[in-house]
Amino acid sequence: MQNKKVAVIGGGPAGLMAAEVLSEAGVAVDLYDAMPSVGRKFLLAGKGGLNLTHSESADRFAERYGERRTQIEALLRSFGPQQLREWAHGLGIETFVGTSGRVFPADMKAAPLLRAWLNRLRHPVHGGAGVQFHMRHRWLGWAEDGRTLRFDTPQGEARAQADAVVLALGGGSWARLGSNGAWVPLLAARGVAVAPLLPANCGFDVAVQRHLPAQGQSLPVQAVPAAAGWSEFFASRFAGQPFKTVAVSFTNAQGLTFQRKGEFVATATGVEGSLIYAASSLLRDEIIRTGHATLYLDLLPDFTPERVLAEVAHPRGSRSLSSHLKSRLGLDGIKMALLHELLSKDEMHDATRLAAAIKALPLRLVAARPLDEAISSAGGVLFEVLNDDLMCAALPRLFCAGEMLDWEAPTGGYLLTACFASGRQAGAGVLRYLAA
């Protein structure tokens, strides 16, 4: 491998991991990235505490990858959550399991891990040249010969050749950090099949249904009055505030069901936050198919429907409805405001219908927020056009890794783990290709 050279394009976790595997095998590695420094999205992900991976069982962990479970599970067998923790320990970064089962560095920070990693890549313990980094090199595709790589740099166009190429260019979210999806037409033009990039772990815009059907009455969705976004009153007073201790449920047209307790946040145009992100793939796909997705919000998941009805119907004397609901059920603030936002005055004063709404308040979502706002993206290079080593069938010598592959996962360490694992697989695949 001493006379071989590999270009790794993309300096996120997948690209850096591929570079590490190759460098440790004695391959000369040139890593290119469009940004002034590597790992920018990785650092942002760790701003509030770097969630590296998760400690749950392997089977449960693999389930998180949905329709791409088979493909991602194959990668995790070689480099899964435990191997990732051991790898971090090898960099001098101790990890711990939080109360939610998520795994974090001991100091919760991403920067020390990245610094230690880059130092090892530049100065490998086994000697050798180490990885050569080329910053502010934006990949432009190939030259006329189909092999020479083209880059846009501050000094003008640069060109490079390599015995193999690993692309780890990210998806389409957070363009300002380098993941802008500009690689899609470049690969499509060379015959590499790419699924459209879509927002994942994203927020949604609402269309407010202000009047619920009467009890026992069923109206088609088209007949339910809806207005885009929150009212000016609700948006101005409650955007940015959390819905705490709630539960959401959603069933799509295919019968797949999501139900979970947690919290989320109201935005100026809709909703976002952990509970919404967890259901985002189902919600997004339903909106694509039908134009909307209606989830049901339980404002008091710790109360039975019978208790809610009894408390709502309890005589309130001279107290206002708001005071009554606050004293009997603890309903106030944003939860109370949402009831007023979605229900008519008659519905608010009908104990049976109000109690039913408190336990199953329909919230109609009509659009995912733009891709660039999403935490991650779905879509990308189809696994069906790659071999087990993540090499493109249409372009031998070209390997793909990370978020630019066609998969998605919820937050909780699953995104990072699969990125690391795919980078490791691509790097090992390049070694097998070069050896052959």
Question: Do residues 361 and 281 both lie within one domain?
Answer: yes
In this predicted structure, the answer to whether residue 199 has a pLDDT above a threshold of 50 is: yes
Q: What is the pLDDT of residue 223?
A: 46
Strands 361-368 and 28-32: what pairing? unpaired
**Can you give the pLDDT at residue 214?**
47
Number of domains in the chain: 2
Task: Please determine, for residue 395, whether its predicted confidence score (pLDDT) is greater than 80.
Answer: yes
Q: How far is CA 15 from CA 22, 262, 267, 283, 423, in A?
A: 11, 34, 34, 31, 6
Q: What are the strands, taking DSSP E only, across 323-430?
A: 361-368, 376-381, 398-400
Q: Is pLDDT above 90 for 375?
A: yes
Give the domain CATH number at 94.
3.50.50.60
Residue 212 predicted with pLDDT over 70: no
pLDDT averaged over every residue in the chain: 93
Shared-domain flag, residues 79 and 183: yes
Return the ∠ at Cα 423 (arms to 420 and 427), rounded to 5°: 140
In which band, very low, low, confident or very high, does the pLDDT at 50 lie, cut at 50, 70 and 90? very high
Q: Is the predicted pLDDT of residue 324 greater than 90, yes or no?
A: yes
Phi, psi of 149 (to 5 degrees): -85, 140
**Residue-level pLDDT at 102:** 96
Say how far apart CA 61 and CA 415 lie, in whole Å. Answer: 11
Do 29 and 138 lie in a common domain? Answer: yes
Q: Are residues 178 and 59 in the same domain?
A: yes
Cβ atoms of residues 409 and 418 within 8 Å? yes
pLDDT at 367: 97
pLDDT value, residue 95: 97
Supply the pLDDT for residue 137. 98
pLDDT at 125: 75
Tell whether 411 and 394 lie within a shared domain: yes
Please state the φ and ψ torsions of residue 138, each to the nearest 5 degrees. -90, 120
Average pLDDT value for residue range 2-7: 90
Which of 242, 298, 300, 305 is closest to 271 using CA atoms? 242
Are 153 and 260 in the same domain? no
CA dist., res. 291 & res. 189, Å (int) = 31
Domain stop point among 330, 349, 368: 368
pLDDT grade, residue 129 (50/70/90)? confident
- End-of-domain residue from the set 325, 349, 368: 368
| Domain end point (choices 368, 391, 414) | 368
What pLDDT score does 3 carry? 85
Place of tokens 């300096």: 11
Within this chain, do residues 178 and 217 fall inside the same structural domain, yes or no? no
Mean pLDDT throughout 102-123?
96
Please determine, for residue 269, whether its predicted confidence score (pLDDT) is greater than 90.
yes
Are 192 and 222 part of one and the same domain? no
Q: Between 227 and 264, whose confidence is greater? A: 264
Amino acid (1-letter code) at residue 196 = P
pLDDT of residue 211: 57
Q: Does the structure show a pLDDT above 90 at 209?
A: no
Q: Is the pLDDT of residue 201 over 60?
A: yes
Q: List, for residues 176-185, the tens digit of each pLDDT value.
A: 888 999 999 9
Q: Report pLDDT digits (tens) over 19-35.
A: 999 999 999 999 999 99
Q: Which pLDDT score is estimated for 45?
A: 84
Do both 195 and 320 map to the same domain? no
* Contact (Cβ atoms closer than 8 angstroms) between residue 243 and residue 276: no
Domain of 299, in residue numbers: 204-368
Whole-number percent of the chain with pLDDT over 70:
94
Q: Which carries the bigger pLDDT value, residue 122 or residue 127?
A: 122
Q: Within this chain, do residues 245 and 161 fall inside the same structural domain, yes or no?
A: no
Residue 213 has pLDDT above 70, yes or no: no
Q: Mean pLDDT over residues 335-358, rounded? A: 96
Residue 227's pLDDT is 63
| 347 and 400 belong to one structural domain | no
Average confidence (pLDDT) over 165-182: 93
The 10s digit of each residue's pLDDT in 58-89 is: 999 999 999 999 999 999 999 999 999 999 99
Q: Are residues 146 and 278 in the same domain?
A: no
pLDDT, position 210 = 55
